[in-house]
Structure 1
Amino acid sequence: MSSASTWLDLPDDHPFGLANLPYGVFSTNGTAPRVGVRIGDWVLDAGAVAQIGKDAVGVGDGPDLAVAWANPSLNPFLELGHQAWTIARDWLTEVFSEAVHEEAVRPHLIPLGEVTMHLPIAVADYVDFYASEHHATNVGKIFRPNSEPLTPNWKHLPIGYHGRSGTVVVSGTDVVRPSGQRKAPADPAPTFGPSRKLDIEAELGFVVGGSTTLGASVDVSLAAEQHLFGVVLLNDWSARDIQAWEYVPLGPFLGKSFGTSISAWVTPMAALEAARSALPTQDPLPLPYLRGAADAVFGLDIHVEVEWNGTVVSRPEYRDMYWAPAQMLAHLTVNGASIRSGDLFGSGTISGAARDSRGSFLELSWNGTEPVTMTDGSERSFLEDGDTVVLRAWAPGPAGSRIGLGEVGGRILPAR
């Protein structure tokens, strides 16, 4: 048995080892989509194995994982709550650790190349935040060159907008170039047509579990423990020319709502314990409802890579983000807005101080004035038809291991 303590033949440094165990939804050969757990380069048919081992979680008194995992989304499992998530993870760890389970489990391990991955959650509500000070400053300088880059409220609350849950798609789904109104500052009037400044935003998405009632809020000190189930990689495709014309005074709308891509695998927050990091100094001190202990209000040391047409053009660091996931969720609900299992909220673009850590092409090309050079010598400022973008990420795991967050990719198709 390797140092990963599993009976599977896994390299010790595999990013999807025993310390990871992300959840997704898969199908094979036309079978119904259901919940799977990735380990190494296999996918465990989780519901089938849970059916075999129901006694391991206590028939009648524990969560019925076999039923929850037989669904075409993670939502029923998310609704079971934090205690059930912990029971499930402990049980899965035991299943892969103890050789006594190998005979029963191995027939339900499917090679990764033989499965089709689906959207892991039925997205209930989708909110996107704006939590990077570097990104917000850069965008402010580009969009409002004669004003202060950060708006007066930015360091007092996590700014966000409500997106469109129905256009969240799984990695590998093509994205059609959006059309809309565009008006450059020098144009006498707006015109209509395909976006000329199609962009990406490299983000993390946080998957929420456990519902609350209308009128109740989520305490910042309990948000991560009770309601943050896991993390996906998220690409918030953005039409900057449409966005620039429409966003005053109510914010993003058609420039964002046409598509958001997420990774197929949801990395549990429990797999990211070793990746927790301190936030940058928050000055001024946030209002009391946004304050909490360091073990509740934390950042994440997650390393992201942005690949554009095969060229890695940026490596943003999530630890640079100003606002914590728990603060975003607490702010989202402080007015009494309820949450539902399957809610998804994005962190906003992950950007750092250096050019090669900027998480959007708007910033990388400085709105087209500083084109990005690809490996083949071509130059890009914004996305052209046929371009592909892939985001990848990893985080530190226990005992010097790496936790892989998989990837989220998409290709741009011409406007229709």
Structure 2
Amino acid sequence: MHQITAVLVGAGARGRFVYGAYAQKYPDQLQIVAVAEPDGERRSIAAEEYRLSSDRLYASWEQLLADRQIADIAIIATQDRMHYAPTLKALALGYDVLLEKPMSPDIDEVIGMAEASVKHNRLLIVSHVLRYTPFWSKIKELIVSGRVGRVVSVQLSENVGYFHMAHSFVRGNWSRSEETSPMILQKSCHDMDILSWLIDKRCLKISSYGSLLHFRPEHAPPGSTIRCTDGCAVERRCPYSAIRIYEEAETQEWTRFIANDPSPEAVRQALREGPFGRCVYRCDNNVVDHQVVNMEFEEGVTASFTMSGFSHDISRTVQIMGTLGEIRGCMEKGEIALYPFGEEGCLVPVSVEEGGHGGGDEGLVREFLKDVRSRRRESGQGLTSAGASVQSHLMAFAAERSRLEDGHSVLIMERNLIGGSTQ
């Protein structure tokens, strides 16, 4: 096993706390040799954490990817609408690319990136991390084994968590669809991808409903203020209080995302001046806080998906109904129950791994590095290759279109790609 070198484009939350953290934890596997990041403070942190000299720190991806390849791979962890151009340039320079999800909120860019990976014979792996978890891998194994017969219907629920909803999709970077992506694409493309992978058939049509129901100005309680730090009369009993979530939390799970400096003074300044101190009812957000999606796949297989920002925890539950049996599971608890018809049901052992997304974050990087070492660059290779990821993106696009058209059914049209086709 030889060390893989990487350039990191975007040193924000995912760039630093997932990919950068992996390089620090497993230096024999991955070394970050250059970083592109517009925020000067983050560049300074990157210089210290990855031991980079000033000539390996860049204010933009254009500077980093200007002329020649300087590492084995490129990790692109920029915002959703900043994926296309650096990905195409990195592929053209000869990098294998690990790309944050979603690929892009533009369907032509999604197709273009998938085609470019084939054209340049480079790996382009999308961070659909759930496929790399022990939980979902075991469920896929049970389906493939035939224990439940032919899959007839699947129900999947994503419980976003009230605090995650407030942090990321009301106050945070993904609160406005025109600046990033619709909720079904940004947050729930993981779920569209898992459904596509488990069912393993083309999705033909979709209908969807959802809205921004709660986090609106008219729902602001009497006595509330623009910011939680402005003397809000209801702050102490508000579950969405920024002071409670960021300053008084037992861990820094969310605090680390609002200030590069974790000191109490820096956190309080971030709440007074930055977006994360705002009242959740007085933000400029417009993405939905709940949504349901119904899908029909080939051969009459159906699936339903529910996303809600109103849950006490962050979790996913699934029910898979087949002709010979049923599977029920809860990802966060690592619980999978198998019920073969006519037999006693049983619990299926599955490990619960530490780390983000049930071990999927580390699993993604680990498998990508293996693919790079083995030079698996044939079209469609890689568990979450760009080609494999196109269908889930098209499903998300169709779901959002249906939601905006009052739930009207949307057909998913086939889109041809170089080296193959997908829908």
Question: Does the pair score TM above 0.5?
Answer: no
Q: Give the number of the structure whose residues are more often helix, by fraction.
A: 2
TM-score normalised over the length of structure 1: 0.27
TM-score normalised over the length of structure 2: 0.26
